[in-house]
Chains A and B, each alone.
Chain A
Amino acid sequence: MEYLLLIYADAAQFEAASPTQQAEGTAAYGAYTEALQKAGVLRGGHRLRPTQDATTVRMASGKTEVLNGPYAETREQLGGYYLIDVPDLDAALAWAARCPGASHGIIEVRPIWPVGSE
């Protein structure tokens, strides 16, 4: 089954960290990505630019509205994701717990809804 691991974290916390800590954090994500690859479970994943670079679009009363910033102004924001393919939720949670994001933010684990299924 495919699961999306959504990484929610406080970007300000990362920006406030020392360059050494930042490099350590980035390297930890690199190692995690490689471990997912070597285990043969990685289907995709990316880091996202911070929410200052986000733009939202919606149709409201027939008009398209375009706004700067993220969908919701919360301290923790979506900072990246992994798409993994594992046998079950237990396995997905085991990988989520290993994600460096789990120790500086929150990982939301969501099963993919396959096209055509109920």
Chain B
Amino acid sequence: MNRVAPDASLEAARAAEAAARRSYGKLIAFLAARTRDVAGAEDALSEALAAALTDWPMHGVPQTPDAWLLTVARRKLVDSARQRRRADGAAEQLLCLSELATGEEEDSALPDRRLGLLFACTHPGIDPAVRAPLMLQVVLGFDAATIASAFLVAPATMGQRLSRAKAKIRQAGIGFEVPEHSALRERLQSVLDAIYAAYAEGWTDPEGADARRRNLADEAIWLGRLVASLLPDEGEALGLLSLMLHAHARRDARRDPQGDYVPLGRQDPACWDAAMIDEAEALLSRANGCDGIGRFQLEAAVQSAHAVRRHRGGADWPAIEQLYDALCELTGSPVAALNRAVAQAESRGPGAGLAALDTLAGDARLTDYQPYWAARADLLARCGKTDAAAQAYQRAIGLERDPAVRRFLQQRAAAAAAGNAAPPGGIQ
């Protein structure tokens, strides 16, 4: 028996992990493209990864780990399908199997079908709420428990939703093809929405310290890069990547050294990641050169108008207001309307902002939305309406998840009660 040196197994484990991280989605896409059996492909790949952990320490890490994993996973897939064949004997499956077993693409580089996989995960036939989780699992290999925590869903529930979605892909015959021109843009929107949902879940990481969620935001950016590189002429794909990079550049500036929350208006631009902002700006101007304009380009432009604080005293509030105008027009989202009101308060005074907010009062989608109450409280305080401000602050505090933001709102509420409204600049 070969003796396995501890560092050999450690090295093998690292290599397996790296291969899994780099190629997980590629391998799944390849294994499941014909059968559409995502769950089966996942099982086969996880068996292959387990096999790598015992084989690689003894025989060394193969030259092309991806190809090794693919060969083993494919064998597992064929084995399990052969067993199943006795049960349901589907002729189509046999055809798929024979194609798989020939491994016609083994010698060439592994074709990248991840984009097709992303389109399958965000197909209109899949429940919108499960699209982002499904994408994270199938393309990036996140486990159900991690995804469940990020999306604040019970792990058992998340597991069920993911299995149901995978069954739907197989049973409904959802294809792994990238849609043709006319359908591409429409379908791309849901791919981008799912990536952004994953990013947002990672970005709201309450303590700013949860490694798994930090990872989630990074992984969403990685997916955004993948889509932007595979569809370099789609303005919205570039816009989304720009938006995420802009937000990400300010990630660490959201907390001071004591761990207290720092709102955007109070952040020191010197704490922002300049290189990342430059990249975001370049993407945005490339997006502007493409056909059409969409939600993500507009939102990236809003971030860009905040980022001008790097070069001059304040954010470009009139531009921000105009951009939110366009977003309201485009999406009809009450959150866009809320942000427009906040921008109006900055460019025209708190009274104007408050009047705009009043038109949103009673919108059921904002009743339990913390930023609405925080913005309202801030503007009421700045208009000298101390009692109403206190009530709105109370509501915002009760709805907040993040203890640092909660403390911040409590301090603001106390200052407002003492007659010291916050200086302009927004509290978001």
Contact = CB atoms under 8 A, between A and B. Distances in A.
A24 B394 CA distance: 12
Q: Which of A27, A31, A32 has the most CB of B within 10 A?
A: A31
Contact of A100 (B154, B368, B406): B406
B128 interface: no
B370 to A, nearest CB: 9
B367 A39 contact: yes
B154 A98 contact: no
B152 interface: yes
Given A24-B410, A34-B394, A90-B152, A102 B367 contact: no
B348 interface: no
Interface stretch (B39-47, B111-119, B178-186, B396-404): B396-404
B215 interface: no
The B contact surface, by secondary structure, is helix
A96 B400 CA distance: 11
Nearest to A109: B154
A95 to B, nearest CB: 9
Given A39-B367, A93-B154, 10 more contacts: A24-B410, A31-B395, A32-B397, A34-B394, A34-B395, A36-B398, A89-B157, A98-B400, A100-B406, A104-B403
A98 B399 contact: yes
Contacts of B401: 97-98, 102
A31 B407 CA distance: 12
B403 A89 contact: no
Contact of B395 (A24, A35, A97, A104): A35
Interface string A18-39: 0000001001101111111011
A60 interface: no
B388 to A, nearest CB: 14
A92 to B, nearest CB: 9
A76 B116 CA distance: 48
A35 B399 contact: yes
A103 interface: yes
Contact of A103 (B206, B368, B398): B206
Interface residues of A, number: 22
B235 to A, nearest CB: 34
B265 to A, nearest CB: 23
B152 A97 contact: yes
Contact of A34 (B153, B154, B398, B403): B398
A4 to B, nearest CB: 15
B398 A35 contact: yes
26 contacts: A24-B410, A27-B397, A28-B397, A28-B406, A31-B394, A31-B398, A32-B398, A33-B398, A34-B395, A35-B397, A35-B398, A36-B398, A38-B398, A39-B367, A39-B368, A89-B153, A89-B154, A89-B157, A93-B152, A94-B152, A97-B152, A97-B401, A98-B400, A102-B401, A103-B403, A104-B403
Interface string B389-428: 0000011011111010011001000000000000000000
A92 B212 CA distance: 23
Pairs of residues from A and B, 8 with the lowest C-beta to C-beta distance, nearest first: A35-B398, A31-B398, A31-B397, A103-B403, A32-B398, A31-B394, A97-B401, A35-B399
A90 B130 CA distance: 13
Nearest to B391: A34
B133 to A, nearest CB: 13
Nearest to B151: A90
Contacts of A102: 401
A32 B370 CA distance: 12
Interface string A68-106: 000000000000000000000110011001101011100
Contacts of B154: 89, 93
Nearest to B394: A31
Interface in B149-178: 152-154, 157
B410 A28 contact: yes
Nearest to B399: A35
Output the residue of A33, A36, A93, A104 with the most chain B CB within 10 A: A93
A3 to B, nearest CB: 12
Contacts of B410: 24, 27-28
B398 A90 contact: no
Contacts of A100: 403, 406
Most B CB contacts (10 A, CB to CB) among A28, A33, A39, A94 go to A28
Contacts of B407: 24
Contacts of A98: 398-401
Contacts of A31: 394-395, 397-398
Contacts of A103: 206, 403
